Structure formats: structure tokens, C-alpha cells
Amino acid sequence: MYRYDEFDAAFVEARAAEFRGQVARRLSGALTEEEFRPLRLMNGLYLQLHAYMLRVAIPYGVLNGGQMRALAEISERYDRGYGHFTTRQNIQFNWPKLRDAPDIIDDLAKVGMHAIQTSGNCIRNTTTDPFAGVAPDEIEDPRPTCELIRQWSSLHPEFTFLGRKFKIAVTGAEADRAAIRVHDIGVQLVRNAAGEPGYRLFVGGGLGRTPMIGKVIRDFLPKADLLPYLEACLRIYNLFGRRDNKYKARIKILVHEVGIEEYARLVEEEFAAMDGTAAPDAAEVARIEAYFAPPAYRERPATSALFERMKREDAGFAAWARRNVHPHRVPGYAAATISLKPIGGAPGDATAEQMRMMAEVAERWSLDELCVTHEQNIVLPHVALDDLYAVWTRLRAQGLDAANRGLVTDIIACPGLDYCALATARSIPVAQMIAERFTDQALQEKIGPLSIKISGCINACGHHHVGHIGILGLDKAGVESYQITIGGDATETAALGDRTGPGFSYEEVTGAIGALVETYLERREAGETFLQCYRRLGMDAFKERLYAAA
Amino acid sequence: MPLRDDTGPIPDDWTRVEPGAPLARRSLLALEDAEARGEALEGVAPEALGLAIPNDTERARLAPWLSRVSLIAVAFPAFNDGRGFSLARALRAKGYAGRLRAAGPVIADQYAYLRECGFDEVEIPEALAARQPEAQWAAAAKRVGLAYQQGYDGRRNILAARAEARER
Ligand code: SF4
């Protein structure tokens, strides 16, 4: 994984010192709250319902054991002993004090971390496939591209006061596990007919109150042109994006209003006029790529007798192996998902002890690497098949062994009314109620792949539009009302979910999800997933049962 | 209103001239006014002519003026309206070599970015200058640090520093 050199370290330290000064100037009144706001947001500090919230950047989700331990430490020293991993592959602390924020930032800098650009109207933390570097179907590792973008976008002098936030996601495989089509810019590594590596670029995707699927702006962009091209995309957005209404300020609205052809024309014109100074030289690219060279794997047989035996002997382990263990490009290894969705838990939450346990497991059995997923789980990317049982046993001691990756209880939920100042409804308790209804492992596996995503307001941080089942919590005259969508999809077959009809009360929502699942189980054809079944049958088949009782 | 650049506070020897009013020694004109005056400006030396523009001015409209003026003052309606950064950068890319001024309630924390995008000076409202006295701007101007972006003015960039380190 990438490690800071002296320059990265100096950059982050300078930023930490600057932030300390800004907090002091806010407290002295030199900065008004209005002026301080974008500055603190640029450092990940939000004012929430009950307290400040600090969002720490985990660049493209990747961290090592030492960094995970530091997060555990911070959660204990400055917070309430837990943290919340987010759909942006970051972590949030929900209870820090303003006066502690500079110290937290300093503590982060000591382990090569920061909170730069985790919020505010700037280029946010770049996200990617949690199986980056190990997925067998990958064309190329997307992380060097992410790191290039991370550096280029850090405190960009031109793009730090944009009209609205700006999110970039990168994938190295055709199968899209990074939801690139619902980002402001999506970057896909591809090869052209001549076999040369390059990028396919999408623009104007996004969720929020006006969800849109991104459109292709370039089918093939040579690798060396990426940063200049991004600069052109951002400049056109910065100059022409709307500033009159914050709900119409995202790039998706600009692309929608002027049309993808016109936006592309402006970008191409800008790009053609650039002198190429924005592109990093080959030596810099090679320097970054070297950090992502495959680690020192041991040579191992492709199968493991121990792994096979333990699956036969321990049904719990077998279930975990079926659901949470993923293929790896190196023989004898696997990637494993640590589910942060135990039944009854808050999706994405981890206590300090759990973080330490994950750090220990990673150090011991995953070449000191972890990756936060946009599904709010943690991936151990390099576990030997021989070690999987030991890993699982260890994780079980901290309740981190839920065998539900991708299943109905692997629910994504935003913080909602329990924490978020913008929320119109609760989301965590809804996730908990639904998970309780589907506790039975056999039932979960019978249902198969099903992603439920819950947002506590129209801002859609829980990505409900692209959940196979999406739940949006609204406020109807002081009462929570949950609107359900089905058929959403964040992958290469991206689609926005369709609304089923009138919303459901807090008490009704679990039953409604039950009705949808029952309909699917009754009507599915052999091997058909929920999403495929919905696409075949259409809305009416599901609606009937859903509203029958009402 | 208070004006400053890297050297500290500086006197403003430009006069904002109202539309149609007689020219001053150095006249800062609104773009529409300059366009309306047409031939009347033809003999005026660039040293005596400046343009004040809003931050959504079309770049094509500015092209004929770039060699005819020695100051362009880009208005910042609010500190967090960042269009001016891109406009300045675009003007520099088009070869504009005169002075660039950021005019409006920009804050000291933005000074380095303004410089990197090609601005030379900032003109801020009195009230803001009172709240953020000169010392804070001087500190912001002195703040050394390397930036990651290439092709921007001011701070040295990290990529160049790395290349140098490789050669050592
Ligand atoms: S979706 Fe709404 S409630 Fe949920 S975290 Fe985002 S802003 Fe808060």
C-alpha cells in the first residue's frame, strides 16, 4: 500500500498546523462561523445534531493495522469508544469536541492519516473496489490511479471552493464494485483495441435528491492524460455549474441541463488547449505504482486441506466461507469480508476493541492490510486459505463473524435521526428491525444476494436509490414515513430503483420488506436473484402483495 | 478598500471610473463600459487601462482585451464562490500577463490558492480587513509549503521536489 514520503508527511503536518490556527482564529473571532464553516468542513468537521462529527479520510479505503489501532485509540480518547465506517470508505467519530479536533488531527498525522476534504464543497476522498489488487477479474489495479487523484485533488488551489461536493470513484474491473456510475466522475480502467491501458470516463452520476446515472464522456482516454482531463472537467464544472441553488449545484445538474454532448464539447475544447503541465511524469507514476506492487505472497497450493476440513466440521465456519470469502488472484489465498452488520447492531459501527482485533488479524494474517468497503464492511485482502479458520475463530471472539456479506441482513444505513442534523427519520433502528426478521441463516442464504439500503433523508447517504430494495425515511407531518423503491443497482448494470407507491410507517416497514421478499421467493425461477426477478416480473407483481394488507 | 500583495498593504493607484465618466490617470472600467466606449479607448495605453469583471464573464469576451489592459479585477461576490479561481487560471493560460486582482470578501486562508491561480493582489472590504488584520495576511503569504498540483504559480510543487530528490 501507499506510504507517505517526506513530502506527503510535511504536507499533512502543515495542514494540521494550519487547522490548529484556524480553530484558534475562530475562537478569537477573526473568522466568523460562516467563514470557518468551509474551513472546518475541509477538515472533516461537521456540526451535527448533538455534537461535532469528525470524518477521517481513509484514502480509497485502504489502511494498515497501525492506522486501525490509531483509530481505536482516538475513539477512546476523544469519543465514546466506537466509530462508524461509512459508505464513502471513511470513518466518522460522532462525539468529538471542537477544542480536541486539532489534537485528533495531530494524532492522525502521526500515522499518516488526515481528515482533509472528507466534507465541504471540494473533491472528496476517492473511492474504489475493496478487492482492488486481488480481484481475479481486474484489468489493472485501480489504486495507483486513486493515489494519483488523491494527491492531485489535495488542497487543489482552483477546486477547493466548488459549487458543491465532488466525488470520484475508480474501478479496475468490468464488474463495478465501486459504484462508479453514481459518482460525479467515474473512472474505469480499460484497454483499447491495441491493448493499451487507459480509462473510460463517466460524468454526472450521483444520488441525493436528484439521482442520476453517469454518462460516458470518453470511451478511451490514454492513461497519461487523466489528470489534465480531470482538470478540464472540473474547470468547466467550476465555471459553468449553477451557484444559485445548492440543490442544483452538483455536476449532474449541469450535465443534465446543457446535455452530455455540450458538456463534453466544452471539456474537450478546454483539454485540447492545455499545455500538458498537469500530467505527472513517468518517474512519478512509477514511484506510486511501486507501492502497489504485489506483496510477498508465499507459494502455496491452490487448495487447502485444513480449510476444506474445517468447512465440513464446522457449519458456522462453512456459512462464513460461503458468504464472506472471495476469490483471490494468487493461488492459495483469499480475500475475506469482516461484516460490520451483526444482527441487531448499527451498520458500519465498530468498537475500539473490535478495531484493535481487526488490526491484529490484519497484521497477523493479511499482510498488514485492511480495506473499508462502501458497503460498510472491512475486507482482509490477503488471507492464506490455511489461515481462514484461525481468522474466523479470532473474529468470532469479538462478534465480527456474521456470515451475511451481500445477503438481506448486510444492510447499508446512514446515521439517520440518531445522529444526523439533516435527518427526517431514523435509519439505524429500521436496519436493526429488518435484520432481526431475517436472522435465520438458512433463510438468508435461500433468499440470496439482496442489498437493502436505507437513508434517513432525501440526501441519500445510504444510497437507497441503488439498493435492490431502497428505503427512504421521510417526515410526513411529524410522523416518520418510509418510501420503498425496488430494482436499484449500483454496478455495471446500474439503475435507479422504482417507487412502489405510498410510504409505510415505522411499524409497517419491516412487514413491507417481508412481503417483497416473500413475493420474490414464490415467483422466482431457478437461479434467479431478487434483482433479476424484479426485472422480469415488473412492479405490479410486487405491489399486489405489498399493498394487499393496507 | 484595503489592497495588498506579497509585499504587504499597497496603495491603490487605480480609479474605478463610472460608465461614461471621464478617464482617470489609471482607469478601472466595467467590461460593458469598456466595450461601449469602443474606439474612444483605442489610444489609451495598457498601463492606464484596467477591467473590472464579474466571475461569470465569458472568456471569449475577454480575449480582445488581454493585451490592452494591465489590470483585471475579478469580483468575488462571496469568499466561497470559487469561480474566480478558474477564471484567473484560464486568463493566465490564455497568456494574460498583467496584474490580476481578487476583489471582494476573500479571506486570508485563501491567499495561497489565489496566488497559485494567478492572482497578484487582493482588495477586501474594510470590515473584513478589521477582523483579519494585516498580520494574518502576512502569515498566510509567508506560509511555505509544497503543493501537489503542477502548472500553478507560487508554491513549489511536490512532484518537482521529488524529481530533484531523485537526482540527488
Ligand atoms: S441521508 Fe440524510 S439523514 Fe442520512 S446521513 Fe445523509 S443527510 Fe443524514
State residue B15's pLDDT score.
Answer: 97
pLDDT: which is higher, A15 or A240: A240
State residue A47's pLDDT score.
Answer: 79
Q: Is the dihedral of CA A154, A183, A62, B163 positive or negative?
A: negative
Q: Which of A41-45, A356-360, A387-391 has the lowest mean pLDDT?
A: A41-45
User: Nearest 5°: phi and psi at A201?
Assistant: -115, 135
Q: What is the mean pLDDT of residues B132-159?
A: 82
State residue A549's pLDDT score.
Answer: 60
Task: Please determine, for residue A347, whether its predicted confidence score (pLDDT) is greater than 80.
Answer: yes
State residue B155's pLDDT score.
Answer: 65
Other CB atoms within a 10 A radius of the CB of residue B136 amount to 19
Strands of the sheet containing A82-85, edge to edge, are: A45-47, A52-56, A91-93, A82-85, A349-351
Q: Residue A26: pLDDT band by 50, 70, 90 thresholds?
A: confident
Report the C-alpha dihedral over residues A536, A538, A540, A541, rounded to 10 degrees.
30
CA distance A522 to A251: 42
Task: Please determine, for residue B144, whether its predicted confidence score (pLDDT) is greater than 70.
Answer: no
Q: What is the mean pLDDT of residues B85-114?
A: 95
Q: Going by CATH, does the domain composed of A305-397 fall within 3.60.40.10?
A: no
Would you state the cell numbers that stand for residue A498, as one nine-digit string?
A: 422504482
**What CATH number does residue B81 fall under?**
3.20.20.70
Chain A CA closest to residue B156: A7
Helices (H), A222-259: 226-240, 251-258
The CATH fold assigned to A134-291 is: Sulfite Reductase Hemoprotein; domain 1 (3.30.413)
How far A475 CA lies from chain B's nearest CA (Å)?
31
Residue of A427, A461, A465 with the most ligand 1 atoms within 8 Å of its CB, for mutation: A461
**pLDDT more than 90, % of chain B:** 78
* Inter-chain Cβ pairs, chain A and chain B, closer than 8 A: 109
Q: Which CATH architecture fits A412-549?
A: 2-Layer Sandwich (3.30)
Inspect the interface and report whether the beta carbons of A161 and B145 lie closer than 8 Å: no
Domain borders along chain A are 6-110, 134-291, 305-397, 412-549
State residue A351's pLDDT score.
Answer: 97
Q: Residue B156: pLDDT band by 50, 70, 90 thresholds?
A: confident
Would you state the cell numbers that stand for residue B49, as one nine-digit string?
A: 487601462
- The tally of domains found in chain B comes to 1
Look over chain A and give the mean of its residue pLDDT values, rounded to a whole number. Answer: 94
- pTM value is 0.94
Q: What is the mean pLDDT of residues A309-329?
A: 97
Q: What is the mean pLDDT of residues B18-46?
A: 95
Range of the domain at B118: 3-167
Q: What is the pLDDT of residues A408-417, one digit of tens each?
A: 999 999 999 9
Asked, colleague to colleague, whether A6-110 and A305-397 share their fold, the answer is: yes
Interface test with B, best of A148, A230, A239, A274 (most B CBs within 10 A): A239
Residue pair A366/A394 in contact by the 8 Å Cβ criterion = no
State residue A27's pLDDT score.
Answer: 85
- CA–centroid distance, A349 to ligand 1, in Å, is 16
Residue pair A465/A485 in contact by the 8 Å Cβ criterion = yes
Q: What is the pLDDT of residues B56-77, one digit of tens each?
A: 999 999 999 999 999 999 999 9
Q: Which of A31-35, A430-434, A501-505 has the lowest mean pLDDT?
A: A31-35
State residue A94's pLDDT score.
Answer: 86
For A43-139, where are the E strands, in sequence order? 45-47, 52-56, 62-63, 82-85, 91-93, 127-128
**pLDDT more than 70, % of chain A:** 99
Chain A within 8 Å of B142 (Cβ-Cβ)?
no
Q: What is the mean pLDDT of residues A398-425?
A: 94
Report the C-alpha dihedral over residues A275, A276, A277, A281, rounded to 10 degrees.
-160
Q: Residue A550: pLDDT band by 50, 70, 90 thresholds?
A: low
State residue B160's pLDDT score.
Answer: 87
Chain A within 8 Å of B166 (Cβ-Cβ)?
yes
Inspect the interface and report whether the beta carbons of A284 and B159 lie closer than 8 Å: yes
State residue A280's pLDDT score.
Answer: 87
Residue A105 CA to its chain's centroid (Å): 22
State residue A42's pLDDT score.
Answer: 87
Q: What is the pLDDT of residues A487-543, one digit of tens each?
A: 999 999 999 999 999 999 999 999 999 999 999 999 999 999 999 999 999 999 999
CA distance A418 to A223: 44
Task: Please determine, for residue A49, whether its predicted confidence score (pLDDT) is greater than 80.
Answer: no
Task: Please determine, for residue A267, whether its predicted confidence score (pLDDT) is greater than 90.
Answer: yes
Residue A408 CA to its chain's centroid (Å): 18
Residue type at position A73: E
Which residues 109-128 on chain A approach chain B with CB closer than 8 angstroms? 121
User: Nearest 5°: phi and psi at A521?
Assistant: -60, -35
Task: Please determine, for residue A73, whether its predicted confidence score (pLDDT) is greater than 60.
Answer: yes
State residue A331's pLDDT score.
Answer: 96
Closest CA to A180 of A217, A216, A207, A205: A205
Q: Going by CATH, does the domain composed of A6-110 fall within 3.40.50.720?
A: no
DSSP 8-state class, residue B42: T
Which residues 156-215 on chain A approach chain B with CB closer than 8 angstroms? 156-163
Relative orientation angle of helices A428-437 and A509-523, to the nearest 10 degrees = 40
Q: What is the mean pLDDT of residues A104-133?
A: 93
Chain A within 8 Å of B125 (Cβ-Cβ)?
no
Residues with CB under 6 A from ligand 1: A 414-416, 420, 422-423, 455-457, 459-462
Closest CA to A130 of A182, A166, A88: A88
